Amino acid sequence: QVQLQESGPGLVKPSQTLSLTCTVSGGSISGGSYYWSWIRQPAGKGLEWIGRIYTSGSTNYNPSLRSRVTISVDPSKNQFSLKLTSVTAADTAVYYCAREDVKVVPCSFDSWGQGTLVTVSS
Amino acid sequence: QSALTQPASVSGSPGQSITISCTGTGGDVGGYDYVSWYQQHPGKAPKLMIFEVSNRPSGVSNRFSGSKSVNTASLTISGLQAEDEADYFCSSYRNSDNPVVFGGGTKLTVL
């Protein structure tokens, strides 16, 4: 059973860069046909897909965030990461990492991290 | 504003059935059989309940079922139980440039 765990600063200053890491355990991040995504949820609101990276390293980003987002993978550490630049208070949210198993549950997220709250404030 | 439209809230009594709708367009819900439903309890991560419109992952109760008609997908929960009280979100594939869109979520209250 794969497990995902987010980590990173809980407080980021406006205009700075938000950086989070998702550590995958119980399976290889490079094995299989998986997309690894970042999803966020402002308090009391809905989910917003941020972007994803495929096993091969190719990426897709939400068009509304594309200019500020970079997702990368480090297979040696079984981790993938999110960088979001020039943050504002509107970026305050719980950030989740999640897995899409393309062959079993295409276009769905069958494994999620517990989420980490990131607050943007000076 | 979310890409897919869901009712803000629904309610039902134990044992009853409820249905939550998720309305999109021909460019997402109506164009692909890639609608998913997630259950989220307070303070917890979402849990996949339905994928590809009507398929249940292993371990999900058969009280949960999904369907789609034109541009609206639906999640039906039969035999409501207290533990079903949660937020429910739908999602759909849209296109290769913006592959995942979500609904705004529906709060289910079990009376």
| pLDDT value, residue B2 | 83
Q: How far is CA B33 from CA B49, B63, B73, B77, B93, in A?
A: 15, 21, 10, 20, 8
SS3 A75: helix
For residues A28 and A76, the answer to whether their CB atoms sit within 8 Å is no
Q: What's the mean per-residue pLDDT of chain B?
A: 96
pLDDT on residue A32: 81
pLDDT at A3 over 90: yes
Q: What are phi and psi of A66, to 5 degrees?
A: -55, -40
- Mention every residue, 6+ apart, whose C-beta is less than 8 A from residue A78: A23, A24, A25, A28, A29
Q: How confident is the model at residue B32 (pLDDT cuts 50, 70, 90)?
A: very high
Higher pLDDT, residue B95 or A113? A113
- pLDDT tens for A54-98 read 988 899 999 999 999 999 999 999 999 999 999 999 999 999 999
* B108 pLDDT more than 90: yes
In this prediction, residues B68-77 reach a mean pLDDT of: 97
Q: Which of 29-68 (A) contact B at CB < 8 A?
A: 37, 45-49, 52, 60, 62-63
Contact of B8 with B22, CB cutoff 8 Å: no
CB contact under 8 A, B48 and A49: no
What pLDDT shows up at residue B96? 87
Please give the average per-residue pLDDT across B31-43, as a whole number: 97
Average pLDDT over residues B85-106: 95
Angle at the Cα of A118 from the Cα atoms of A11 and A58, rounded to 5 degrees: 120
Q: Which of A8, A29, A12, A34 is nearest to A102 (CA)?
A: A34
Report CB contact under 8 Å: A115, B45.
yes
User: Which residue in chain B is spatially nearest to A43 when comparing CA positions?
Assistant: B43
Query: In the predicted model, is pLDDT for residue B50 greater than 90?
Result: yes
| Rounded CA separation B16/B2 (Å) | 29
Q: Do A109 and B102 touch (CB under 8 A)?
A: no
For residue B39, give the nearest of B96, B90, B80, B76 by alpha carbon: B90
Average pLDDT over residues A101-112: 92
Q: Does B98 touch chain A (CB under 8 A)?
A: yes
Instruction: Report the gap between the CA of A96 and the closest CA in chain B (Å).
Output: 8
Q: Give the number of other CB atoms < 10 A from CB of residue B36.
A: 31
Tally A–B CB contacts below 8 A: 70
The pair phi, psi for residue B78, each rounded to 5°, is: -100, 160
- CA-nearest of A115, A79, A117 to A6 is A115
